[in-house]
Amino acid sequence: MANTKSAKKAARQAVRRTEVNKARTSRARTAVRSVEEAIAAGNKDAAAKALREAAPVLARTAQKGVLHKKTASRKVSRLSARVKAMSN
């Protein structure tokens, strides 16, 4: 258990940051899942729309340090390639 005043504050901040980061991670995963579901359904328009909504969410998640910048970029790139490869 934290003994010093600064350690107690750091512990409080860590709890708060963990909650925020969990929410951001969850939001990013949901955005990716919505694109993947649209791809699986074979609906190119819905997949493209979901991708347009997911890309900024992933970029923001990377900017806040929850995901690595290149990880977010790779996810967007791979989803984009899958949507582009769909025939409509």
Nearest C-alpha neighbor of 60 from the set 15, 21, 33: 21
How many residues are there in the chain? 88
Residue with tokens 């107690």: 8
Report, as an integer, the average pLDDT of 31-56: 96
Average pLDDT of the residues of the chain: 95
| Percentage of the residues of the chain whose pLDDT score is greater than 90 | 93
> Which pLDDT tens digit goes with each residue over 52-74?
999 999 999 999 999 999 999 99
CA angle 26, 28, 73 (to 5 degrees): 145
pLDDT > 80? residue 87: no
Taking 90 as the threshold, does the pLDDT of residue 88 lie above it? no
37 vs 6: CA distance, rounded Å: 46
Q: Which domains does the chain have, with CATH numbers?
A: 5-85 (1.20.58.110)
> Is the distance from CB of 32 to CB of 13 less than 8 angstroms?
no
Looking at residue 1, its pLDDT comes to: 78
